[in-house]
Amino acid sequence: MARIRTIKPEFPQSESMGNVSRDARLCFIQMWTLADDEGRLRGNSRMLASLLFPYDDDAKDLIDDWLVELEHEGCIVRYVVDGATYIEIRNWLIHQKIDKPSKSKLPSFDESSRILANPRERSSEDQGPKDQGKEEIPPNPPSPVGDEGAESSASQKPVRARKSRTSFATFLADCKAKGVKPVTSYRPLMDYVDKVRLPHEFLELAWDVFRREHSDGGANERRLQADWQRHFCNYVTKGYYRLWVCKPDGSFELTTVGQQSRKFLEAA
């Protein structure tokens, strides 16, 4: 259930917001309306995409990247309790002062529940009580000095240099100029492939679909990304294309979509 929240004027000048993309900032602000009075909300990414970006068909494929950006900046923390994913907005009770706050019905975060790999979970809506929040003197998250997620100035993280966003064609050209393979040189992806024993021909198939989608004439040819390798890694680890399924014995097999994509690749 959505709630009324407020934004302080200094929010746009926050350094931590300058370290994330514009889409991540919008996602962050909109999450406040779903958070309960203790700053918690359900964290299923597809559910959030449908609630926060109902008119953007590509949001379901992009929202995980935005959440990763926000988590890296210390704006949120994601965690799992009993198989369900949740989000807690950091420093919520400092930044959002609410009259007569209602106790959260969602489980609280602890380090043992932190998400290390982003699992999928069943989608469900936040059923917390409706309340109109009111903010006073404390600044809204993130704070204007860029210390979002920090308890004191001593624990502040150094500001990271923000990567410029480029087209897929520019990314491929840069890889070629540097003699870098766009897929197999990305260690997090290859570690995942090795760990789950995903067949390399399936990875090649996913790359072909991804490449066609983001190249000239593809559905997302105009998309810009700061880190194309990480973006593709998310597509693989989340199974966005539904090219394969994992069987009970741990082996993989192609779905109907995967078989069709393989035929297209072989015919090319």
Interatomic CA distance for residues 139 and 226, integer angstroms: 29
Task: Tell whether the torsion through CA atoms of 233, 237, 241 and 243 is positive or negative.
Answer: positive
Q: List the chain residues with pLDDT less than 70.
A: 1-2, 94-95, 111-162
What integer pLDDT is reported at residue 256 of this predicted model? 92
What integer pLDDT is reported at residue 2 of this predicted model? 62
What integer pLDDT is reported at residue 162 of this predicted model? 61
Interatomic CA distance for residues 128 and 105, integer angstroms: 6
What integer pLDDT is reported at residue 15 of this predicted model? 81
Helices (H) and strands (E) in the chain, counts: 10, 7
Question: CA 84: distance to chain centroid?
Answer: 16
What integer pLDDT is reported at residue 13 of this predicted model? 84
Environment class of 31 (CB within 10 Å of its CB; exposed 0-12, middle 13-18, buried 19+):
buried
C-alpha to C-alpha distances, 120 to 85, 193, 215, nearest whole angstrom? 8, 18, 28
Residue 133, SS3 per DSSP? coil
Residues 167-223 have pLDDT tens digits of 999 999 999 999 999 999 999 999 999 999 999 999 999 999 999 999 998 888 888
* Cβ 47 vs Cβ 123: under 8 Å: yes
What integer pLDDT is reported at residue 153 of this predicted model? 44
What integer pLDDT is reported at residue 152 of this predicted model? 44
